[in-house]
């Protein structure tokens, strides 16, 4: 599924007729022009936020990376779109660690396999998002509509979307 597909469905549910048409007929070459539209830009940024929130609270996306420690530490900023550590291994064996001052603190230096929860790095509306197969499309669209309606002062719509979104997300 592409990000723009989620945005298009959100525009339909939110009653954004002009934006719906723009998104439905858009090509990749028009992306920067599309982002000049205030609502399209908002849909894109809030869509990224909805993905992050789903990954943080409902269905984790796990990434694994091999990193070397320096002074028995691995800086968390080296982990792309970090949410939290799930597991740390050295030579295939789980090891003890602590999180102190945005560092993973280990007992000794060496190469470690860090498994951590993450969210996708989205740079374009036309990106295909692999992790979306973990979610029902309607949950993602409801999340987007929830955040859009709140951000734009549409409080009655927010209440409806939020109720539907949390109910659907909790049943994932």
Secondary structure string (H, E, C) spanning the chain: CEHHHHHHHHHHHCCCHHHHHHHHCCCHHHHHHHCCCHHHHHHHHHHHHHHHHHHHHCCCEEEEEEEECECCEEEHHHCCCEEEEEEEEECCEECCCEEECCEEECCCCCEEEEEEEECCCCCCCCCECHHHHHCCHHHHHHHHHHHHHHHCCCHHHHHHHHHHHHHHHHCC
Band of residue 134 on the pLDDT scale cut at 50, 70, 90 = low
What is the reported pLDDT for 7?
Answer: 96
Stretch among 4-8, 44-48, 51-55 having the lowest mean pLDDT: 51-55
**Pairing mode, strands 61-68 and 98-100:** unpaired
pTM of the model: 0.81
Residues 10/50, Cβ–Cβ less than 8 Å: no
Band of residue 170 on the pLDDT scale cut at 50, 70, 90 = confident
Segment 6-18 mean pLDDT: 95
Is a pLDDT exceeding 70 seen at residue 130?
yes
Q: Distance of CA 26 to CAs 4, 88, 130, Å?
A: 9, 43, 21
What is the reported pLDDT for 168?
Answer: 86
| N-to-C CA span, the chain | 18
The two three-digit tokens of residue 90, written as one number: 């050295």
Stretch among 22-36, 94-108, 133-147 having the lowest mean pLDDT: 133-147
Backbone angles phi, psi at 170, to 5 degrees: -70, -20
The two three-digit tokens of residue 163, written as one number: 């109720």
Q: How far apart are CA 131 and CA 14, in angstroms?
A: 24
């Amino acid at each position: 599924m592409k990000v723009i597909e989620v945005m298009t469905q959100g525009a339909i549910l939110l009653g954004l007729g002009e934006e719906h048409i723009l998104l439905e007929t858009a090509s990749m070459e028009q992306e920067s022009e599309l982002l000049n539209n205030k609502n399209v830009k908002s849909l894109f940024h809030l869509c990224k936020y909805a993905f992050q929130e789903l990954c943080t609270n409902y269905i984790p996306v796990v990434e694994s990376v091999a990193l070397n420690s320096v002074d028995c530490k691995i800086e968390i900023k080296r982990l792309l779109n970090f949410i939290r550590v799930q597991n740390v291994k050295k030579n295939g064996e789980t090891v003890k660690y602590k999180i102190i001052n945005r560092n993973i603190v280990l007992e000794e230096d060496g190469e470690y396999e860090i498994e951590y929860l993450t969210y996708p790095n989205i740079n374009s509306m036309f990106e295909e998002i692999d992790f979306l197969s973990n979610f029902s499309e309607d949950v993602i669209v409801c999340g987007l509509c929830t955040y859009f309606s709140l951000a734009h002062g549409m409080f009655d719509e927010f209440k409806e979307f939020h109720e539907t979104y949390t109910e659907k997300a909790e049943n994932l």
